Amino acid sequence: MSEKDHKVSRRQFLNYSLTGVGGFMAAGITLPLVRFALDPALKVGEDTEMVAVAQVNELTNEPKRFDFKVNQVDAWYESEVSRSAWIYEEEGEIIALSPVCTHLGCTVDWDTSDDQPNRFFCPCHYGAFEKDGTNVDRTPPTQPLFLYDHEVRNGTVYLGRPRPQV
């Protein structure tokens, strides 16, 4: 092809140049803003650190409620959140259960119902759980209470995050 067949007018050249420069400027402004907005959603869920909750010598074979606080980070906001756990010791093994009912998220209590003695009871919809956290048949919850990750160091029980029982 010759140069005469492939001419670009000044107007076309200016149009192409300004469109290209404008596109680079728009991308230079938009991409960091998109990254800033999506950054918290793209972060991999961090394992929560273990929090000291109770002394081993405080535990009995009867579930006992222990309240504690954890630092929680939601995107750019950090706060201290109150949590609780039902902890007991049975045959040398420590069990730490979440008090959140798996039906609709109400708080369960130990041995508070005359109809469900020696069980965790949810007053919202009369859900019941056995001592080990398994759900009782013919009650609303369809899965067991969550178990906290836990470890014992120097006679102190440390709890992590609650996980579903398998």
Same domain, 67 and 145: yes
The residue to which tokens 């178990």 are assigned: 147
Q: Do 99 and 130 share a domain, yes or no?
A: yes
- The pLDDT score that the predictor gives to residue 141 is 87
Same domain, yes or no: 66 and 15: no
Same domain for 94 and 20:
no
Contact status, residue 92 vs residue 120, Cβ threshold 8 Å = no
Element (H, E) at 73: strand 64-74
pLDDT at 2: 57
Residue 27 sits in the same domain as residue 66: no
Mean pLDDT of successive 10-residue segments in the chain (166 residues)? 72 92 93 83 66 90 92 79 92 92 90 87 90 89 91 92 86
Specify whether the CB–CB gap between 46 and 40 falls below 8 A.
Answer: no
Q: What is the pLDDT of residue 121?
A: 92
CATH at 142? 2.102.10.10
How much is the CA Rg of the chain, to the nearest whole Å?
29
Tell me which residue range forms the domain holding 116.
51-163
Q: Are residues 118 and 78 part of one domain?
A: yes
Shared-domain flag, residues 134 and 78: yes
36 and 55 in one domain? no
Q: Hey, what are 135's tokens? A: 């759900």
- Predicted local confidence at residue 92, as pLDDT: 86
Q: What is the pLDDT of residues 108-153, one digit of tens each?
A: 999 888 888 899 999 888 889 999 989 988 888 889 999 999 999 9
Q: Within this chain, do residues 74 and 151 fall inside the same structural domain, yes or no? A: yes
